[in-house]
Chains A and B, each alone.
Chain A
Amino acid sequence: MTRIPLSALIGLAITAAYFLAAIFAPLIAPYGFADVVGGVWDPSSAKFLLGTDSIGRDLLSRMIYGGRTTIAIATAATVLSFTTGSILGFTAAVIGGWVDQVLSRTVDLLMSIPSLIFALVVLSVMPVTVVTLILVMGLLDSTRVFRLARAVAVDITVMDFVEAARLRGEGRMWIIFREILPNALSPLVAEMGMRFIFQVLLLSTLSFLGLGVQPPMADWGGIVKSNKDGIVYGIPAALYPAIAIALLAISVNLVADWVLTRTSSLKGGRGG
């Protein structure tokens, strides 16, 4: 913890700014997210820093509230995918045998279907609420986490200290949470940053296609959708969400990179 590289510091700072803006959105945003306060696609001015959108709502306020929705849903989906994915992955690795086979083949089956198509099909037959969005996004992504968690855990379960714990008579809970999890944490945390960004992208895509966050709630994909026609007339409104997503993706990845390089080997590094 003594020295954090500059790139990671920048990443941490920007990521933190995003999350703070999301949490305190009502305090920061100059207007309400649904209030029509100006004309259609007003250019940026002192009154409207980023201008207004296709029906005259303040774009900055919608960006901030949109960030809140996007980040909240993506975070919840990431947490869901990591808890289910890693617990199932560890279980498959620890128990092995047919349990592993059933879980792994099910995951293979799910992964063979493109996740966007799968999400579209499920969301088009189910009522689109925030909860269903989180569930669908989280469970779909948990297949990828399952793969990683299982691979990491398979490497750890063959180590002598896990065998020693088994011979001691320890139960599965101890082996999974006390022997394997602490050693698998670093790669999982690094992966978590990547998965979070993919969740942001998936949610934005779904909203753009009209199956994600429903109006009048704001989210980045929805802002692109409602302002995309402006691009033809030189109105930059649809570009702001893209910039916001790109910046968040880069900064989260800077942090994830640092977490990954900090990962010491299982032997705990070379000491010194």
Chain B
Amino acid sequence: MADLILDIRNLKIEATAYPPGEPPQDIVIVDGVSLTLEKGKVLGLIGESGAGKSTIGLSAMSYGRGGVRLTGGEVRLGGQEIRAAGPRALRAIRGDRVTYVAQSAAAAFNPAKRLMDQVIETSLQHGLSTRAEAEKRAVMLFAKLGLPNPESFGNRYPHQVSGGQLQRAMTAMALCPKPDLVIFDEPTTALDVTTQIDVLAAIKEAIRDTGVAALYITHDLAVVAQVSDDILVLRHGKMVEKGSADQIINAPREAYTKALVSVRQIEHPAKPATSPVVLSVDHVTARYRGTHFDVLKDVTVELRQGQTLAVVGESGSGKSTLARVITGLLPPRSGRIRFDGRDLTPAFANRTRDDLRELQMIYQMADVAMNPRHTVGTIIGRPLEFYFGLKGEGKRRRVQELLDEIEMGKGFIDRYPAELSGGQKQRVCIARALAAKPKLIICDEVTSALDPLVADGILKLLLNLQKVEGVAYLFITHDLATVKAIADSIAVMYRGEVVRYGTKTEVLAPPFDDYTDLLLSSVPEMRLGWLEEVIAHRRMEAAGN
């Protein structure tokens, strides 16, 4: 057992909650979690938001964020108990034997200092090496992590490199002091899929070559399967299942793990393109006021009644701008939009009430899409009152019908948004859109802020509602798995242009254009060895095969 790096036994973590208007109360965040980690191994911590995975990760350096306290159990780092260690002992450990890679690299770097100074800072602080040695090691790590011009990369400032490069620079920062253990806290979650794959490969290689142990925290099982040796599944602060990556992915034992593994497997055959066209976007070009480039360039797409058009692309591809143009928030510079056989006025303020009613929108962040001071009844009831003049008992009855439709029972009508879970909030937003009896609903990344299982529920609900109500969806997303689950036709966007457009079967069948190929092959698959295959495939292609 000489190479046992981390040994957590029966860990209990508590925090004090301050519910508004009530006395503070202690709540248990993590209870009875045990794990071990050997030298050179990677342990994946996986769970939904609130599962306590980040809290456990930080406990490996005996740190509790925001008033969180480690109240029970043992945390042994290389045989030394550190849970109750004093500040001086912890200062010696943190940054020397344990280091941390945060989710948002952009927020973790000091924008006023060069990268090199920040990467080697801990090594110098702890007196581990001289400046020259540390810089040499940093350059070696830059090269290993595949950063461009490793010799001069450290001279740049954080804003001069891309998000993916910054995340790799932070990995270099964590590896520079030669720690025993690195904690990766959702390091690729904020990145686009095509960037994520490079960072993932770089992290994996660096871990292997430096021989450190690592805790890898993420909510995405497909990602963790690529980098981990073992996986620990968490839920509500308790362990659900622990096993090798192979066992968790291929032979999960617990029902919850099975659900996590089988997520994103909704079967949805594309509907034939027979129904009349409800929305046609015709050669639309748009730019934001005060800027000098077009965010949408000559975009042409069509959507048929009762069908779903998925608009896919990375951040900055113009997919959300397309939604703003259709809703009239951003009038286009040229081109026209036809809706249900009539021309739509460019600016929403000049549209008729029926135009506004028949074109509804659902947002990514459900909790800011609802007024926090209105009850569910008011939120869903307002469109009924506004468009159909429903009042009093009639309105309340219709609201209840809509709540039933979104599979939320009685008792929700008088609640405030703060009293709902993330999935419930999104359901209420769907009900608000349905209340207007729309012909088209624009769904802007409606599932990307939700945990996978909850997102699955929302997608199934949307599919059902489409069958019942015959409403068309314009579905904006960056997640290709979602697209496969819900779309009838697909438009792939890249830098403001539609690079590929057609029915789902056409778009997802080869031959691919370069960008679609890159995008499709970057989506992590729920199986071991996927990352290596893709990387090997890309290297072969780059070599000219």
A267 contact from B23, B348, B361, B372, Cβ within 8 A: B372
- B contact residues around A2 at 8 Å (CB): 21-23
A269 contact from B19, B329, B371, Cβ within 8 A: B19
Tell me if A159 counts as interface (CB < 8 A to partner B). yes
Q: How many A-B residue pairs have CB under 8 A?
A: 80
0/1 interface trace, chain A 232-268, chain B, CB 8 Å (1 if under): 0000000000000000000000000000001010111
Contact indicator A3/B368 (Cβ below 8 Å): no
Contact indicator B371/A272 (Cβ below 8 Å): no
0/1 interface trace, chain B 313-330, chain A, CB 8 Å (1 if under): 000000000000001110
0/1 interface trace, chain A 138-169, chain B, CB 8 Å (1 if under): 00000000000000000000011101101111
Contact indicator A262/B382 (Cβ below 8 Å): no
| Cα-based distance from A179 to B379 in the complex (angstroms) | 11
Tell me if A114 counts as interface (CB < 8 A to partner B). no
- A contact residues around B18 at 8 Å (CB): 270, 272
| Cα-based distance from A138 to B25 in the complex (angstroms) | 44
Contact indicator A272/B353 (Cβ below 8 Å): no
- B contact residues around A178 at 8 Å (CB): 371, 374
Contact indicator B371/A262 (Cβ below 8 Å): no
Contact indicator A266/B368 (Cβ below 8 Å): yes
B21 contact from A1, A170, A182, Cβ within 8 A: A1
Tell me if A183 counts as interface (CB < 8 A to partner B). yes
- A contact residues around B368 at 8 Å (CB): 159-161, 266-267
- B contact residues around A167 at 8 Å (CB): 327-329, 348, 356, 361
Contact indicator B417/A164 (Cβ below 8 Å): no
- B contact residues around A160 at 8 Å (CB): 363, 365, 368-369
- The closest CB in chain B to the CB of A268 belongs to B418
| Cα-based distance from A1 to B419 in the complex (angstroms) | 17
| Cα-based distance from A234 to B34 in the complex (angstroms) | 76
- The closest CB in chain A to the CB of B17 belongs to A272
Contact indicator B371/A182 (Cβ below 8 Å): yes
Tell me if A271 counts as interface (CB < 8 A to partner B). yes
Which residues, 367 to 386 on B, are CB-close (under 8 Å) to A?
A: 367-374, 382-383, 386
B386 contact from A1, A161, A170, A271, Cβ within 8 A: A170
Contact indicator B383/A168 (Cβ below 8 Å): yes
- A contact residues around B353 at 8 Å (CB): 169
Tell me if B392 counts as interface (CB < 8 A to partner A). no
Most chain A CB atoms below 10 A, which of B20, B356, B374, B382: B20
Contact indicator A271/B19 (Cβ below 8 Å): yes
B20 contact from A163, A164, A183, A269, Cβ within 8 A: A269
Tell me if B416 counts as interface (CB < 8 A to partner A). yes
| Cα-based distance from A164 to B386 in the complex (angstroms) | 13
| Cα-based distance from A88 to B33 in the complex (angstroms) | 56
A3-B23, A169-B353 given; A268·B372 CB < 8 A: yes
Contact indicator B419/A271 (Cβ below 8 Å): yes
Contact indicator A161/B356 (Cβ below 8 Å): no
- B contact residues around A266 at 8 Å (CB): 368, 372
Contact indicator B373/A270 (Cβ below 8 Å): no
- A contact residues around B382 at 8 Å (CB): 168
Contact indicator A267/B367 (Cβ below 8 Å): yes
- B contact residues around A268 at 8 Å (CB): 20, 372-373, 416-418
Contact indicator B356/A168 (Cβ below 8 Å): yes
A182-B371, A267-B368, A271-B418 given; A164·B17 CB < 8 A: no
Give, as a whole number of angstroms, the nearest-CB distance from A178 to chain B. 8
| Cα-based distance from A161 to B371 in the complex (angstroms) | 6
Q: Which residues of B contact A (CB under 8 A)?
A: 17-23, 25, 327-329, 348, 351, 353, 356-357, 361, 363, 365, 367-374, 382-383, 386, 416-419, 432, 436
Further 17 A-B residue pairs, CB within 8 A, beyond A160-B363, A262-B20: A1-B21, A2-B22, A164-B432, A166-B348, A167-B356, A168-B383, A169-B353, A169-B386, A182-B374, A183-B371, A264-B20, A267-B367, A267-B368, A270-B17, A270-B19, A271-B418, A272-B22
